[in-house]
């Protein structure tokens, strides 16, 4: 007995050491299998020892118990016990109970090992799927990687990847990638929500599994030597934030997919939804950046055109100034000649005629100048308005692509261009007056809106100069005025601007009231 215990202890130490060594390099299956072998060895050794001791005391070794003991020692537990001898007793009953207990323990261990193996298969598949979806791929490459991996990993024969499109008014699902699939003109490649099983799966965000009869299926898996039809079809939608992004269809031509394979496909949909949403976001971001680049190039081109026009206008102004200077010199010469010809009547008449001619030329030149300024101002309005619009879009920063500094720069451009535009409007109005083309647009003008515009425009000037600014309205004023709003606002702004300019302290006050008497026009 002592010798047996010593031998078992020695063997146990060796096997436990081996188990710890294997646990550092192998997986849990090998460890559990080694533990089961150790337990079987110990139980079998104890059984053999006690069996031989008891048999030695009773004076013999029955053949049945000896055979059972040898089977257990060899690790065979599928033993059938004879049931025609009544209830077993003694050593035979003990051996039968030992075998049944060991068989139950082995079944439980194998069951746990199988469950662990399934979980490891699921985790391995998820990790490999993530590897195929990583790397910032575009949506087409990503979908090809996904459908190829899923089809092969779950041992299917065909797979189709449908992506949700929202370009038109109604969303629809369209095939963008496949594995082992042969396209056909008779088979549709896009479905609206609720259209067919694919559209119904997307509409309900629900998985469908269908087993087809051979006559119900079309041959979509073909090669030079193979023509197969999918008998078992698995249709699974994938989503992101509860919004369907697409559908995956997996087909089996022979055996049905196992529950483990179905579980893997269900679990993979969440990762696929996240990856597809990320790819679509990257695509949308690239489109926005490309549009911003195009707009920036257009703004740069318009800015260069404006600079060229400004240079031409500057040169034109210089030429006009030179011509005015020449005309002034000519006028001085005429006046000198008039002084010389005071006593000469005939010569004075000739000089008068010459003076009138020069005056007409001067008037004509001034008219040409006014018309030229008006035409040039009109030509400058379009690029100025374009710059105003683009600077407003950049300053609003609706999609938060610009930094705070860039936003301030865009706002500065907008403010400067607004002032420049206002200056050209004043030049245009002056030119219209000089050219006799000033037109008045009579319309209904809200008195309250007019006061608000004047207040908003000039309040900051009063605050900067530390002046009080008050606008007073009589109670009997009508809510609407019949006048030209732009000209009226321009007149009031000019008057108040001069008032602020020449007032260093105190207040500037605007009073709007009915006149005591209306002058006759």
**Given a cut of 90, is residue 162 above it in pLDDT?**
yes
**Given a cut of 90, is residue 338 above it in pLDDT?**
no
119-128, 297-306, 427-436, 449-458: which range is least confident on average?
A: 427-436
pLDDT for 390: 77
* H-type alpha helices, 134-251: 139-153, 196-204
Across the strands, what pairs with 162?
Answer: 175, 247
**Average pLDDT estimate for 442-456:** 87
Residue 117 pLDDT class (50, 70, 90 cuts): confident
pLDDT for 520: 55
Percent of the chain with pLDDT over 70: 67
pLDDT for 248: 93
Start-to-end CA distance of the chain, whole Å, equals 140
Where is pLDDT greater, at 89 or 389?
389
pLDDT for 389: 74
243-252/158-165 β-pairing: antiparallel
The 10s digit of each residue's pLDDT in 223-260 is: 544 556 777 888 999 999 888 999 999 988 877 888 88
Residue 378 pLDDT class (50, 70, 90 cuts): low
pLDDT for 518: 61
Residue 509 pLDDT class (50, 70, 90 cuts): very high
**Given a cut of 60, is residue 58 above it in pLDDT?**
no
201-205, 219-223, 354-358: which range is least confident on average?
A: 219-223
**Given a cut of 90, is residue 490 above it in pLDDT?**
no
Per-residue burial over 160-195, b = 16 or more CB atoms within 10 Å of its CB, e = otherwise:
bbbbbeeeeeeebbebbbbbbbeeeeeeeeebebee
Across the strands, what pairs with 238?
Answer: 246
Per-chain mean pLDDT for the chain: 76
Q: Which residues contact 425 (CB under 8 A, 6 or more apart)?
A: 377
pLDDT for 23: 47
pLDDT for 291: 87
pLDDT for 1: 47
Instruction: Please give the C-alpha separations between residue 291 and each of 126, 171, 277, 389, 410, in angstroms, as whole numbers.
Output: 37, 25, 21, 15, 17
pLDDT for 2: 45
Domains of the chain: 2-127 (no CATH), 137-257 (3.30.450.40), 292-435 (no CATH), 443-512 (3.30.565.10)
Where is pLDDT greater, at 347 or 315?
315
pLDDT for 381: 64
pLDDT for 95: 62
In degrees, to the nearest 5, what angle opens at C-alpha 191 toward C-alphas 187 and 193?
Answer: 155
**Given a cut of 80, is residue 82 above it in pLDDT?**
no
pLDDT for 153: 92
Residue 10 pLDDT class (50, 70, 90 cuts): very low
| Residue 305 to residue 310: CA distance in whole angstroms | 9
Count how many Cα atoms sit within 13 Å of the Cα of residue 456 in the half-sphere of its side chain. Answer: 7
| Closest alpha carbon to 286 in 138, 154, 461, 410 | 138
Please tell me the chain's helix, strand, coil percentages from 3-state DSSP, rounded to the nearest 5: 65, 15, 25
Q: Are 236 and 265 in contact (CB under 8 A)?
A: yes
Q: Are 37 and 45 in contact (CB under 8 A)?
A: no
Where is pLDDT greater, at 190 or 52?
190
Q: How many CB atoms are closer than 10 A to CB 358?
A: 15
Q: Are 202 and 244 in contact (CB under 8 A)?
A: yes
The 10s digit of each residue's pLDDT in 180-214 is: 887 777 778 888 888 888 888 888 888 898 887 66
Residue with tokens 């695509």: 283
**Given a cut of 90, is residue 298 above it in pLDDT?**
no
| Closest alpha carbon to 385 in 425, 345, 358, 331 | 425
| Residue 42 to residue 15: CA distance in whole angstroms | 11
Count how many Cα atoms sit within 13 Å of the Cα of residue 96 in the half-sphere of its side chain. Answer: 12
**Given a cut of 80, is residue 54 above it in pLDDT?**
no
Residue 161 pLDDT class (50, 70, 90 cuts): very high
Query: Can you list the pairs that 257-262 forms with residues at least 24 positions away whose Cβ atoms lie under 8 Å?
Result: 257/154, 257/156, 257/232, 260/118, 260/121, 260/122, 261/154, 261/155, 262/209, 262/234
Residue 485 pLDDT class (50, 70, 90 cuts): confident
| Residue 9 to residue 13: CA distance in whole angstroms | 6
Q: Which residues contact 413 (CB under 8 A, 6 or more apart)?
A: 387, 391, 394
pLDDT for 61: 45
């Amino acid at each position: 007995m002592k010798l047996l215990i010593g031998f078992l202890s020695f063997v146990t130490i060796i096997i436990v050491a081996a188990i710890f060594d294997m646990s550092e390099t192998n997986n849990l299956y090998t460890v559990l299998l080694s533990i089961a072998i150790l337990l079987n060895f110990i139980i079998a050794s104890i059984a053999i020892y006690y069996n031989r001791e008891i048999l030695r005391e009773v004076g013999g070794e029955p053949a049945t118990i000896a055979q059972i003991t040898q089977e257990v020692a060899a690790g065979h537990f599928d033993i059938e016990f004879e049931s025609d001898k009544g209830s077993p007793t003694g050593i035979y009953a003990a051996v039968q109970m030992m075998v049944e207990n060991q068989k139950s323990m082995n079944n439980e261990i194998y069951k746990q090992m199988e469950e662990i193996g399934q979980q490891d298969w699921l985790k391995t598949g998820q990790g490999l799927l993530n590897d195929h979806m990583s790397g910032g791929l575009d949506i087409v490459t990503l979908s090809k990687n996904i459908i190829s991996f899923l089809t092969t990993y779950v041992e299917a024969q065909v797979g189709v990847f449908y992506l949700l499109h929202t370009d038109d008014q109604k969303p629809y699902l369209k095939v963008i990638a496949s594995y082992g699939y042969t396209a056909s003109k008779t088979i549709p490649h896009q479905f609206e929500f609720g259209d067919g099983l694919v559209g119904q799966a997307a509409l309900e965000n629900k998985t469908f599994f269908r087993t087809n009869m051979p006559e119900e299926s079309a041959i979509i898996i073909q090669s030079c030597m193979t023509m197969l039809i999918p008998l078992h079809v698995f249709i699974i939608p994938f989503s992101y934030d509860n919004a369907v992004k697409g559908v995956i269809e997996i087909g089996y031509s022979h055996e049905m997919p196992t529950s483990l394979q179905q579980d893997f496909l269900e679990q993979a949909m969440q990762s696929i939804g996240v990856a597809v949403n990320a790819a679509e976001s990257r695509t949308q971001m690239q489109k926005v950046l490309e549009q911003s680049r195009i707009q920036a190039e257009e703004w740069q081109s318009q800015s260069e055109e404006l600079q060229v026009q400004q240079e031409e206008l500057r040169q034109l102004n210089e030429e006009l100034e030179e011509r005015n200077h020449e005309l002034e010199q000519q006028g001085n010469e005429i006046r000198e000649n008039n002084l010389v010809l005071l006593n000469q009547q005939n010569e004075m008449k000739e000089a008068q005629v010459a003076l009138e001619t020069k005056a007409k030329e001067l008037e004509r030149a001034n008219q040409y100048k006014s018309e030229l300024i008006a035409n040039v101002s009109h030509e400058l309005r379009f690029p100025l308005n374009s710059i105003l619009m683009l600077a407003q879009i950049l300053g609003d920063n609706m999609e938060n692509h610009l930094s705070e500094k860039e936003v301030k720069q865009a706002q500065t451009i907008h403010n400067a261009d607004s002032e420049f535009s206002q200056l050209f409007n004043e030049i245009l109005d002056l030119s219209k007056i000089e050219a006799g083309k000033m037109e008045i647009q009579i319309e209904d003008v809200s008195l309250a809106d007019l006061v608000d515009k004047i207040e908003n425009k000039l309040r900051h000037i009063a605050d900067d100069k530390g002046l009080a600014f008050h606008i007073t309205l009589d109670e009997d004023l009508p809510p609407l005025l019949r006048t030209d709003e732009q000209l009226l606002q321009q007149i009031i702004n000019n008057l108040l601007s001069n008032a602020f300019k020449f007032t260093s302290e105190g207040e500037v006050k605007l009073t709007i009231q009915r006149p005591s008497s209306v002058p006759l026009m």
